Amino acid sequence: MGIADARAMYPNLPVVDADPEADRRFLEAIADWCDRYTPLVALDSPDGLFLDITGCAHLFNGEATLARDLIARLTQQGLRARVAVADTVGGASAIARYGKPGIIPRGETRAAMLPLPIAALRVDAETVAALKTSGLTCVVDLAARPRAPFAARFGRGLLLRLDQALGDVDEPIMPRLPVPAAMAEQRFPEPIAREADVLGTVEHLGRQLVPVLERRGEGGRLFQLALFRADGKVHRLAIGTGAPLRDPARMRKLFEERLAVLDDACDPGFGYDMVRLGALVTERCDPTQTGLAGSDHAEELAHLTDRLGARFGLRRVTRLVSQDTHIPEYAVASVPAHAARHVAEAARIIEQDSLSSTRPIRLLNRPEPVDVTAQVPDGPPVQFSWRRMTYQVAQVEGPERIAMEWWRDDRGNKLTRDYFRVESKTGARVWLYREGLYGRESGNPRWYLHGLFA
Amino acid sequence: MGMTGLTLNHLRQTLAGIDPGNAPRLAGEERLIGMTAPIDKALGGGLACGALHELVPAAPLYLGAASGFGLALAAQAAGRRGQVLWVTTEYAAGEGGGPYGPGLDLFGLASAHFLMLRVSKPLDVLWAMEEGLRCRALACVIAELTGEGAVADLTATRRLTLAARDGIGAQNSGFGLLIRHRATAMPSAAATRWEIAPALSQPDAYGGIGRARFDLSLRKNRRGPSGRWIIEWDHHERAFQPAIFVGLAAPALDRSDRASRVRTG
């Protein structure tokens, strides 16, 4: 019926534009929530969800209780759902939509499928219509006939769907979230809301996770905490670590830092009725012997790095790693500390003639323009002004000529730089450079201050 | 103490003899960082670990000198294996630049020893510094605050001092250095406050700029008198030396050395 016809019958009929994007987001939110039953949840767009409850049903006292619980909780949230449990993905989808929803006992999916219409097989409308003109309307019509003519007429797709629904071909579901290598969960009859309780639960779950990780000889590098709010919202917090971790107390500490910064973004509302801790990424972790002269504290440093990372973001805790370039600003990179773990400890010791260092200890993010007076255009500076202060030059070392890397044109700056180490009459030591070779690259070379020496 | 305990202790002492940098210390033994004799005397033996020290550049351009002095102290605290945490805000790094790896390598403490943290709020700097001071794996924590560093008031510095005292352990030293970008009259619980300016260096044998030389003013000292000294940092030896003024007249930097050569030749 068109809108015009409907409005003719009910003049006050409210009309809302379809918003498939919002529908999809809503379906994903429900999928998130369904995570409480099994980690394997897949979307059956646009209006269905697959839950692989293999091995999970007994946790809820069987499939029937699980289905009842699911329906009851969804109804509480104002949703209506048709739930079918069957041996196959295709079968469950068909029975939930076209058959009588409920539990199909093991091995009876085939029988339950046969009387259903062909549309239940998740095939396109064109195929359904074409089959209907041939007088084929039910699944049984297809299943009882020779396959070759169908394959010739409709291709492999139709028969594949049939086989999947009847269980002759295996159909895996694609879970929408990564499945943890190890996980532990805790349900609460009465929702918990206090941060201390959540953290206590984390430590408790961590203790359950450790034996699993130990058996595999692994430690976690990425942990995820899923907090299922009583009203259906799910918060997921992740923490990364620099080294494989198997210590529940440290897991708790890391999540404590994470929660401390999230603050309002992680509102417990009426409380959480389920908490799950999973190790998403694991790595081999061998026990190590501590030194005789006391422990070497490497582990403690790793924990500090993780804690700072959990609070401020892993990218903010960095190590300085030398790069293979002579351009000063690219000569060192800040690499996140958790990734720089394997960078060699031994630093190059650079020997030099002069008593002072040839590189500043602080480098400005952007070279700052300075006004420089020099006796000749390509000579050393005798006076410079920086941030409205003028300094007389007492000593100069230079120039150190640094040409740009012509083979990396994309960086844009191509002018040669002449660097000078300059000491002012007050003793301040700075790193100045003149951009552009006078007469060849630039008629009026500009000066910049790039770094501060000690 | 049983027989095993004695043996273990004996072994530890032997190890300490072989490798003093990694030696475990006995409880109650105070660790001091030595500078030069006159300064050590004023400080009561040296700069105390397990305490907070404030460094302030005397002028904005002297931030390099203040950082250099802090790095020199950190290099002494870290020894051969110690790790240093450097905390700064994004704003501070934008104002005065960030620590530069190749420069650190040449200044006495290799950049591999540094763990860098850049946060967005000054308050986070204090939080991270406190965590770092308590951590037994760090030899030194350097924190930077722009301006006067108003967040580091009396209460905050007292907290940091307590954390530094807690953090003192066998290998680390709970050694905290707070660099304020501008001088302040704010009260503070820090053990010392230094105002740092660079001093003209002694040119090296090739006419280049010599060792980094600092003009230190000890503005505040809980243990003794304040004072002013000029010292220089020898990054090869990793030691401070008193700056010796050779000769009575200033070196004739403005005069070309060619003339003298002509005369003698």
Q: What is the ipTM of this complex?
A: 0.81
pLDDT value at B250 more than 80 = no
Q: Which of residues 112-171 of B touch A (CB under 8 A)?
A: 112, 114-119, 124, 127-128, 131-132, 135-138, 170-171
In angstroms, rounded to a whole number, what is the distance separating the alpha carbons of residues B232 and B243? 6
Cβ–Cβ gap B135/A292 under 8 Å: no
Q: Which residues of A touch B15 (CB under 8 A)?
A: 292-293
**Confidence category of residue B26, pLDDT binned at 50, 70, 90:** very low
Q: Which residue has better confidence, A282 or A355?
A: A282
pLDDT value at A370 more than 90 = yes
**Confidence category of residue A241, pLDDT binned at 50, 70, 90:** confident
Count Cβ–Cβ pairs < 8 Å, chain A vs chain B: 231
- If 0-12 CB within 10 Å is exposed, 13-18 middle and 19+ buried, where does residue B225 land? exposed
- Spell out the residues 6+ positions from residue B248 whose beta carbon is closer than 8 angstroms to its own: none
Phi and psi, residue A227, nearest 5°: -110, 115
Tens digit of pLDDT for each residue in A411-436?
666 788 999 999 999 999 999 999 88
Cβ–Cβ gap A362/B64 under 8 Å: yes
In angstroms, rounded to a whole number, what is the distance separating the alpha carbons of residues A61 and A39? 18
Q: What is the pLDDT of residue B28?
A: 44
Cβ–Cβ gap A332/B69 under 8 Å: no
In angstroms, rounded to a whole number, what is the distance separating the alpha carbons of residues A103 and A96? 10
Q: What is the pLDDT of residue B259?
A: 44
Cβ–Cβ gap A312/B172 under 8 Å: no
| Contact in structure between B176 and B191 (CB atoms under 8 Å) | no
> Which residue in A293, A332, A354 is closest to B101 by CB distance?
A332
> Which residue in B11, B85, B118 is closest to A292 by CB distance?
B11
Q: Which residues of B209-222 are buried (b: 16+ CB within 10 A; e: fewer)?
A: bbbbbbbbbbbebe
Please report, as a single letter, which amino acid is at residue B229. W
- If 0-12 CB within 10 Å is exposed, 13-18 middle and 19+ buried, where does residue A174 land? exposed
In angstroms, rounded to a whole number, what is the distance separating the alpha carbons of residues A321 and A339? 11
In angstroms, rounded to a whole number, what is the distance separating the alpha carbons of residues B116 and B95? 17
Please report, as a single letter, which amino acid is at residue A159. L
Give, for A371, the enclosing helix (H) or strand (E): strand A362-374
**Mean pLDDT, range A301-325, rounded to an integer:** 88
Q: What is the pLDDT of residue A419?
A: 94
Cβ–Cβ gap A304/B215 under 8 Å: no
pLDDT value at A261 more than 90 = no
B99: phi > 0 → left, psi -120 to 50 → alpha, else beta; which? beta
Tens digit of pLDDT for each residue in A29-64?
999 888 888 888 998 878 899 999 888 888 888 888
Poorest-pLDDT segment among A189-198, B28-37, B175-184: B28-37
Is B210 part of the contact surface with chain A (CB cutoff 8 Å)? yes
Cα-only R_g, chain B:
20
pLDDT value at B63 more than 80 = yes
Q: Which residues pair with B54 in a beta bridge?
A: B178, B193
Q: What is the pLDDT of residue A384?
A: 94
DSSP A300-357: HHHHHHHHHHHHH-GGGEEEEEE-S--SGGGSEEEEETTTGGGS-SPPPPPP-SSSS-
**DSSP state for residue A38 in the 8-state scheme:** -
**Confidence category of residue A410, pLDDT binned at 50, 70, 90:** low
Tens digit of pLDDT for each residue in B97-132?
889 988 888 888 888 889 999 999 999 999 999 999
How crowded is the C-beta side of A361, counted as CA atoms within 13 Å?
A: 26
Q: Where are the alpha helices (DSSP H) in chain B?
A: 3-18, 37-43, 63-78, 90-96, 101-105, 122-134, 154-167, 258-264
Q: What is the pLDDT of residue A325?
A: 82
In angstroms, rounded to a whole number, what is the distance separating the alpha carbons of residues A365 and A385? 19
Cβ–Cβ gap A356/B96 under 8 Å: no
Cβ–Cβ gap B101/A360 under 8 Å: no
**DSSP state for residue A277 in the 8-state scheme:** E
**Confidence category of residue B248, pLDDT binned at 50, 70, 90:** very low
